[in-house]
Protein backbone atom coordinates (compact mmCIF):
# COMPACT_ATOMS: atom_id res chain seq x y z
CA UNK A 1 0.00 0.00 0.00
CA UNK A 2 1.28 3.45 -0.77
CA UNK A 3 -1.07 4.99 1.76
CA UNK A 4 -2.97 3.67 4.72
CA UNK A 5 -6.08 5.29 3.35
CA UNK A 6 -6.38 2.61 0.71
CA UNK A 7 -8.67 -0.34 1.23
CA UNK A 8 -6.71 -3.39 2.27
CA UNK A 9 -6.81 -6.18 -0.27
CA UNK A 10 -4.69 -8.89 1.32
CA UNK A 11 -5.73 -12.35 0.10
CA UNK A 12 -5.13 -14.16 3.41
CA UNK A 13 -5.82 -13.09 6.99
CA UNK A 14 -3.03 -12.16 9.42
CA UNK A 15 -2.38 -13.51 12.92
CA UNK A 16 -0.99 -10.21 14.15
CA UNK A 17 -1.03 -6.59 13.00
CA UNK A 18 0.57 -3.71 14.85
CA UNK A 19 1.05 0.02 14.63
CA UNK A 20 3.63 2.09 16.47
CA UNK A 21 4.00 5.80 16.81
CA UNK A 22 1.67 6.41 13.88
CA UNK A 23 -0.02 9.52 15.20
CA UNK A 24 -0.57 12.10 12.50
CA UNK A 25 -0.68 9.45 9.77
CA UNK A 26 -4.42 8.97 9.49
CA UNK A 27 -7.59 10.90 9.24
CA UNK A 28 -9.27 8.22 11.34
CA UNK A 29 -7.41 5.46 13.14
CA UNK A 30 -10.71 3.77 13.77
CA UNK A 31 -11.84 3.32 10.17
CA UNK A 32 -8.52 3.31 8.34
CA UNK A 33 -6.70 0.96 10.70
CA UNK A 34 -8.75 -0.68 13.45
CA UNK A 35 -11.68 -1.57 11.25
CA UNK A 36 -9.56 -2.80 8.36
CA UNK A 37 -7.33 -4.76 10.72
CA UNK A 38 -10.37 -6.42 12.24
CA UNK A 39 -11.47 -7.58 8.80
CA UNK A 40 -7.98 -8.82 7.93
CA UNK A 41 -7.15 -10.84 11.05
CA UNK A 42 -7.79 -14.51 11.65
CA UNK A 43 -11.22 -14.71 13.30
CA UNK A 44 -11.01 -15.81 16.92
CA UNK A 45 -7.23 -15.72 17.28
CA UNK A 46 -6.00 -12.61 15.46
CA UNK A 47 -4.51 -9.72 17.40
CA UNK A 48 -4.10 -6.03 16.72
CA UNK A 49 -1.58 -4.18 18.87
CA UNK A 50 -1.25 -0.39 18.91
CA UNK A 51 1.75 1.23 20.57
CA UNK A 52 0.87 4.86 20.25
CA UNK A 53 1.79 8.16 21.81
CA UNK A 54 -0.36 11.21 21.89
CA UNK A 55 0.59 14.84 21.42
CA UNK A 56 -0.82 15.95 24.75
CA UNK A 57 1.29 17.50 27.45
CA UNK A 58 0.19 16.25 30.84
CA UNK A 59 1.25 17.08 34.34
CA UNK A 60 0.39 15.31 37.58
CA UNK A 61 0.31 18.51 39.60
CA UNK A 62 -0.06 22.20 38.82
CA UNK A 63 3.65 22.80 38.27
CA UNK A 64 3.56 23.03 34.48
CA UNK A 65 2.38 26.45 33.33
CA UNK A 66 -0.55 25.97 31.01
CA UNK A 67 0.42 29.14 29.16
CA UNK A 68 4.06 28.10 28.94
CA UNK A 69 5.94 27.40 25.74
CA UNK A 70 5.70 23.63 25.90
CA UNK A 71 1.94 23.56 26.29
CA UNK A 72 1.52 26.26 23.67
CA UNK A 73 3.62 24.30 21.20
CA UNK A 74 1.56 21.15 21.77
CA UNK A 75 -1.67 23.12 21.38
CA UNK A 76 -0.44 24.51 18.07
CA UNK A 77 0.57 21.07 16.88
CA UNK A 78 -2.88 19.76 17.75
CA UNK A 79 -4.61 22.63 15.97
CA UNK A 80 -2.40 22.30 12.92
CA UNK A 81 -2.82 18.54 12.66
CA UNK A 82 -6.58 18.82 13.04
CA UNK A 83 -6.67 21.43 10.29
CA UNK A 84 -4.76 19.03 8.04
CA UNK A 85 -7.08 16.17 8.95
CA UNK A 86 -4.20 14.15 10.44
CA UNK A 87 -4.85 14.45 14.18
CA UNK A 88 -1.90 14.05 16.53
CA UNK A 89 -4.00 13.74 19.65
CA UNK A 90 -7.03 11.87 20.89
CA UNK A 91 -5.36 8.47 21.00
CA UNK A 92 -5.52 8.21 24.76
CA UNK A 93 -9.24 8.82 24.83
CA UNK A 94 -9.96 6.99 21.61
CA UNK A 95 -7.98 3.82 21.08
CA UNK A 96 -9.78 1.53 23.44
CA UNK A 97 -13.20 2.70 22.26
CA UNK A 98 -12.23 2.45 18.60
CA UNK A 99 -11.05 -1.14 19.07
CA UNK A 100 -14.29 -2.09 20.79
CA UNK A 101 -16.51 -0.24 18.34
CA UNK A 102 -15.11 -2.10 15.34
CA UNK A 103 -15.65 -5.46 17.03
CA UNK A 104 -12.55 -6.42 19.02
CA UNK A 105 -13.13 -8.19 22.31
CA UNK A 106 -10.64 -8.85 25.10
CA UNK A 107 -9.24 -5.35 24.67
CA UNK A 108 -6.37 -4.65 27.07
CA UNK A 109 -4.87 -1.28 27.75
CA UNK A 110 -1.49 -0.50 29.28
CA UNK A 111 -0.69 3.15 29.89
CA UNK A 112 2.84 4.46 30.43
CA UNK A 113 3.89 7.97 31.27
CA UNK A 114 7.18 9.28 29.95
CA UNK A 115 8.70 12.23 31.75
CA UNK A 116 10.20 15.00 29.66
CA UNK A 117 13.41 15.97 31.40
CA UNK A 118 15.60 14.43 34.06
CA UNK A 119 13.66 15.74 37.03
CA UNK A 120 12.24 12.42 38.36
CA UNK A 121 13.80 10.96 41.49
CA UNK A 122 13.28 7.42 40.33
CA UNK A 123 16.45 6.34 38.48
CA UNK A 124 14.69 4.57 35.66
CA UNK A 125 12.33 7.45 35.03
CA UNK A 126 15.20 9.93 35.26
CA UNK A 127 17.10 8.08 32.55
CA UNK A 128 13.98 7.78 30.44
CA UNK A 129 13.16 11.46 30.86
CA UNK A 130 16.69 12.52 29.93
CA UNK A 131 16.58 10.45 26.75
CA UNK A 132 13.12 11.65 25.85
CA UNK A 133 14.23 15.24 26.39
CA UNK A 134 17.21 14.73 24.05
CA UNK A 135 14.95 13.12 21.48
CA UNK A 136 12.45 15.92 21.80
CA UNK A 137 14.93 18.74 21.48
CA UNK A 138 16.71 17.14 18.56
CA UNK A 139 13.46 16.43 16.76
CA UNK A 140 11.57 19.60 17.51
CA UNK A 141 12.29 21.36 14.22
CA UNK A 142 11.55 18.29 12.15
CA UNK A 143 8.33 17.53 14.05
CA UNK A 144 7.03 21.03 13.51
CA UNK A 145 8.37 22.45 10.27
CA UNK A 146 6.14 20.84 7.64
CA UNK A 147 3.02 20.80 9.73
CA UNK A 148 3.24 24.49 10.72
CA UNK A 149 4.00 25.40 7.14
CA UNK A 150 1.12 23.41 5.67
CA UNK A 151 -1.44 24.38 8.27
CA UNK A 152 -0.43 27.96 9.10
CA UNK A 153 1.74 28.88 6.08
CA UNK A 154 4.63 29.66 8.40
CA UNK A 155 8.03 29.94 6.85
CA UNK A 156 10.95 27.91 8.16
CA UNK A 157 12.37 31.10 9.67
CA UNK A 158 9.14 31.90 11.51
CA UNK A 159 9.02 28.42 12.96
CA UNK A 160 12.66 28.53 14.06
CA UNK A 161 12.21 31.97 15.60
CA UNK A 162 9.30 30.66 17.60
CA UNK A 163 11.56 27.89 18.96
CA UNK A 164 14.32 30.33 19.67
CA UNK A 165 12.04 32.42 21.85
CA UNK A 166 10.10 29.60 23.35
CA UNK A 167 12.64 26.89 23.99
CA UNK A 168 14.56 28.45 26.84
CA UNK A 169 11.70 29.07 29.23
CA UNK A 170 10.30 25.64 28.76
CA UNK A 171 13.58 23.82 29.11
CA UNK A 172 14.39 25.83 32.18
CA UNK A 173 11.01 25.30 33.66
CA UNK A 174 11.32 21.55 33.27
CA UNK A 175 14.72 21.58 34.86
CA UNK A 176 13.56 23.70 37.72
CA UNK A 177 10.50 21.67 38.30
CA UNK A 178 12.20 18.84 40.06
CA UNK A 179 11.19 17.06 42.14
CA UNK A 180 7.65 17.91 41.13
CA UNK A 181 6.17 16.39 38.08
CA UNK A 182 6.76 18.52 35.07
CA UNK A 183 5.90 18.41 31.45
CA UNK A 184 5.51 14.99 30.10
CA UNK A 185 4.29 13.05 27.26
CA UNK A 186 1.82 10.40 28.08
CA UNK A 187 2.70 7.35 26.10
CA UNK A 188 0.13 4.78 25.47
CA UNK A 189 1.02 1.26 24.68
CA UNK A 190 -2.25 -0.33 24.56
CA UNK A 191 -5.17 -2.15 23.12
CA UNK A 192 -4.48 -5.69 22.39
CA UNK A 193 -7.68 -6.87 20.82
CA UNK A 194 -8.53 -10.51 20.45
CA UNK A 195 -11.82 -10.89 18.73
CA UNK A 196 -14.35 -13.65 18.66
CA UNK A 197 -16.62 -14.18 15.69
| Binding region for ligand SAM (CB under 6 A) | 3-4, 20-22, 25
Residues 6+ positions from 197 with CB-CB distance below 8 Å: 43, 44
Which strand (E) or helix (H) includes residue 29? helix 29-29
Question: Smallest distance from the beta carbon of 36 to ligand SAM, in angstroms?
Answer: 13
Question: Do the Cβ atoms of 116 and 184 come closer than 8 Å?
Answer: yes
Choose between 21 and 156: whose C-beta lies nearer to ligand SAM.
21
Residues in the chain: 197
Cα distances (Å, whole numbers) of residue 197 to 42, 101, 166 = 10, 14, 52
Calpha distance 44→195 (Å, rounded): 5
- Identify which of residues 18 and 168 has a Cβ nearer to ligand SAM in the complex: 18
Residue among 1 and 197 whose Cβ is closer to ligand SAM: 1
Q: How does DSSP classify residue 30?
A: I
Report yes or no: 88 and 54 within 8 Å, Cβ to Cβ: yes
Residue 7 or residue 197: which is nearer to ligand SAM going by CB? 7
| Cβ distance to ligand SAM smaller for residue 55 or 174 | 55
Amino acid sequence: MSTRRETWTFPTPFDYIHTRCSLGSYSSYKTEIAQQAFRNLTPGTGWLEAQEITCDICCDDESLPRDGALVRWADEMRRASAALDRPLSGYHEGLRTWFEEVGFTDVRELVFKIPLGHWPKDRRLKELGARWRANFIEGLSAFSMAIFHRAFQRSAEETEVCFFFSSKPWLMSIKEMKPLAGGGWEVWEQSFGNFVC
